[in-house]
């Protein structure tokens, strides 16, 4: 299947939605798998609703997900002269005609049809006009076949057939001279030599009209694959009601792009029972024909599970780069001193499910506790706390231990010597170093903070405990 050309064609009327991102991903995978070309086309012909902020948000979302395009972004708004030429071409071929019916007339006829129990449809009144009525405003309509049917072999849904009598004579140019959506899509897909149109199944009904246009203009008809919708847990179409739907909102919630990509690829597509896919595996295994026919339900818990997996297995240096802005938002600046961020990341990879959880867990490394979890502290007698802090401060000041394992061994020996159980030492120490009891292994913390800073914090906790 060489020569594959696919496109993602968002309308810039909002942010990049997870559903759109999945469509983009399926197109991207199709191109990457077959050595084809992935095109980004911004469908901004609806001038009223399209905004440059939306364009930026879409590009940003695509870049964050790593869905790089080979051609584009192309903007439909730059193609108006091209569409005009093709409208004229259809008129010249007598495959399109001027229609002078006014909106009011059409509405009256529609109401009549409804009253008489007929399906409302353009009645073809201007199809055969022999005289053009001077300077009255007109739209241009496509002269669609009246009988027969139009079929296509959808790569996901199987064969779909529409009787042509159900398809109106589509307006291809409005009375203000602008081309309509279905017409622009066909011209662009044809001129861009798109071989596979992969898009949301809300476009199934547009497809027969588009196919008739391809045929009328003598263009080869591409293959179509209509991807089922994404639903919320209540089986309604995924919307803000169900939580975040914007790709960038997931970034801001501390998700990794590889987790979202992995989640989206499995939404409606499977490969045996494999859940975790590297990019390479995805490209090798993906097949558009294996996408399921029914809608998929968005499951935020599974997304979180995948994110935890990618945090656990991620490269600490890279994660540190992604984590830094989340720390900055919380008032910590690792570049101004304190442990290396990558070392901090290593101590938190096992437990953090998002970069936000990781940032919250990392904060104490850079900001010494200003207050302690008093409830946790109150579980120990004052005398015990003073003994623990004094002994640990003294031992750490003189030890040659440097690694987490060495610090853990030192603390274990101390417990044996003093007759303490490990939590009797570990918990007070965690409180001293992090303010609370939720923190990584104690040896790891000491190694990462360094013994000098550890001793400083233990002294501070000792002072605090002695004044309580």
Binding interface with ligand GLU (CB under 6 A):
9-11, 43, 185, 199, 203
State the catalytic residue, choosing from 95, 157, 240, 346.
240
CB 46 within 8 A of CB 13: yes
Task: Look up 379 and say whether it is catalytic.
Answer: no
Which is nearer to ligand GLU, 9 or 445 (by Cβ)? 9
**Strands, DSSP E only, in 171-303?**
171-173, 196-200, 223-227, 230-231, 296-297
Using CA atoms, how far residue 121 sits from 38, 143, 210, 364, in Å, is: 38, 14, 18, 68
Cβ 369 to ligand GLU shortest distance, Å = 50
Which is nearer to ligand GLU, 45 or 262 (by Cβ)? 45
The per-residue DSSP string of 280-343 comes to HHHHHH--GGGS-SS-EE--HHHHHHHHHHHHHHS-HHHHHHHHHHHHHHTT--GGGSSS-HHH
Cα separation of 8 and 273, whole Å? 28
58: nearest Cα among 47, 69, 70, 48:
69
Cβ 182 to ligand GLU shortest distance, Å = 9
Cβ 207 to ligand GLU shortest distance, Å = 9
CB 16 within 8 A of CB 247: yes
Which is nearer to ligand GLU, 10 or 440 (by Cβ)? 10
Cβ 26 to ligand GLU shortest distance, Å = 11
Cβ 7 to ligand GLU shortest distance, Å = 7
Which is nearer to ligand GLU, 34 or 203 (by Cβ)? 203
**CB hemisphere CA count around 436 (13 angstroms):** 9
Report residue 34 CA to chain centroid gap.
23
Backbone angles phi, psi at 197, to 5 degrees: -100, 105
Cα separation of 189 and 178, whole Å? 18
C-alpha angle 53/227/213, rounded to 5°? 85
What is the phi-psi region of residue 136: left when phi exceeds 0, alpha when psi lies from -120 to 50, beta otherwise? beta
Cβ 185 to ligand GLU shortest distance, Å = 5
Nearest residue to ligand GLU, scored by beta-carbon proximity: 199
Dmax (CA) of the chain: 109
Q: Which two tokens stand for residue 183?
A: 């017409």
Partners of 150 in beta bridges: 162
Cβ 10 to ligand GLU shortest distance, Å = 5
Cβ 49 to ligand GLU shortest distance, Å = 11
Interacting residues of 440 by C-beta distance below 8 A, sequence separation 6+:
347, 348, 350, 351, 361
C-alpha angle 215/220/223, rounded to 5°? 105
Which is nearer to ligand GLU, 48 or 135 (by Cβ)? 48
Backbone angles phi, psi at 273, to 5 degrees: -110, 20
Which is nearer to ligand GLU, 10 or 36 (by Cβ)? 10
Which of the 8 DSSP states describes residue 127? Answer: T
Which is nearer to ligand GLU, 238 or 461 (by Cβ)? 238
Which is nearer to ligand GLU, 43 or 357 (by Cβ)? 43
Residues recognised as catalytic? 240
């Amino acid at each position: 299947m060489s020569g594959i050309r696919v496109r993602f064609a968002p309308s810039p009327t909002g942010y990049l939605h997870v559903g759109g991102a999945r469509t983009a991903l399926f197109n991207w995978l199709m191109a990457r798998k077959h050595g084809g070309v992935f095109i980004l086309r911004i469908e901004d012909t609806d001038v009223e609703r399209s905004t440059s902020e939306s364009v930026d948000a879409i590009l940003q979302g695509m870049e964050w997900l790593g869905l790089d395009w080979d051609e584009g972004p192309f903007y439909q708004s730059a193609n108006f002269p091209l569409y005009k030429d093709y409208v004229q071409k259809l008129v010249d071929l007598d495959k399109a005609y001027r229609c002078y019916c006014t909106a009011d007339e059409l509405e009256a006829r529609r109401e009549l049809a409804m009253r008489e129990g007929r399906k409302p449809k353009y009645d073809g009144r201007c199809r055969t006009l022999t005289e053009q009525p001077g300077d009255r405003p007109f739209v241009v309509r496509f002269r669609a076949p009246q009988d027969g049917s139009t079929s296509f072999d959808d790569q996901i849904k199987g064969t779909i057939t529409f009787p042509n009598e159900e398809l109106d004579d589509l307006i291809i140019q409005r009375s203000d001279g602008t081309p309509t959506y279905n017409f622009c899509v066909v011209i662009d897909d044809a001129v861009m030599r798109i071989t596979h149109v992969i898009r949301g199944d809300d476009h199934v009904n547009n497809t027969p009209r588009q196919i008739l246009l391809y045929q009328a203009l003598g263009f080869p008809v591409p293959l179509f694959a209509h991807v089922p919708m994404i639903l919320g847990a209540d089986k309604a179409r995924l919307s803000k009601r169900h939580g975040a739907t914007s790709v960038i909102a997931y970034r801001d919630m501390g998700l990794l792009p590889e987790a979202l990509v992995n989640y989206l690829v499995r939404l409606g597509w499977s490969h045996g029972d494999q859940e975790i896919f590297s990019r390479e595996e995805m490209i090798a295994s993906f097949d558009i024909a294996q996408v399921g026919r029914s809608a998929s339900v968005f499951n935020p818990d599974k997304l979180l599970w995948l994110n935890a997996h990618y945090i656990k297995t991620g490269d600490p240096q890279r994660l540190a780069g992604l984590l830094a802005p989340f720390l900055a938002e919380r008032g910590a600046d690792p570049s101004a001193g304190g442990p290396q961020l990558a070392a901090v990341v290593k101590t938190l990879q096992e437990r953090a499910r998002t970069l936000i959880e990781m940032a919250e867990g990392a904060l104490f490394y850079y900001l010494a506790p200003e207050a302690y979890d008093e409830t946790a502290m109150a579980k120990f007698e004052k005398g015990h706390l003073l003994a623990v802090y004094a002994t640990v401060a003294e031992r750490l000041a003189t030890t040659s231990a440097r690694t987490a394992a060495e610090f853990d061994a030192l603390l274990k020996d101390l417990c044996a010597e003093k007759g303490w159980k490990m939590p009797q030492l570990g918990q007070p120490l965690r409180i001293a170093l992090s303010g609370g009891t939720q923190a990584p292994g104690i040896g790891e913390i000491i190694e990462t903070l360094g013994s000098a800073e550890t001793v400083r914090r233990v002294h501070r906790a000792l002072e605090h405990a002695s004044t309580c």
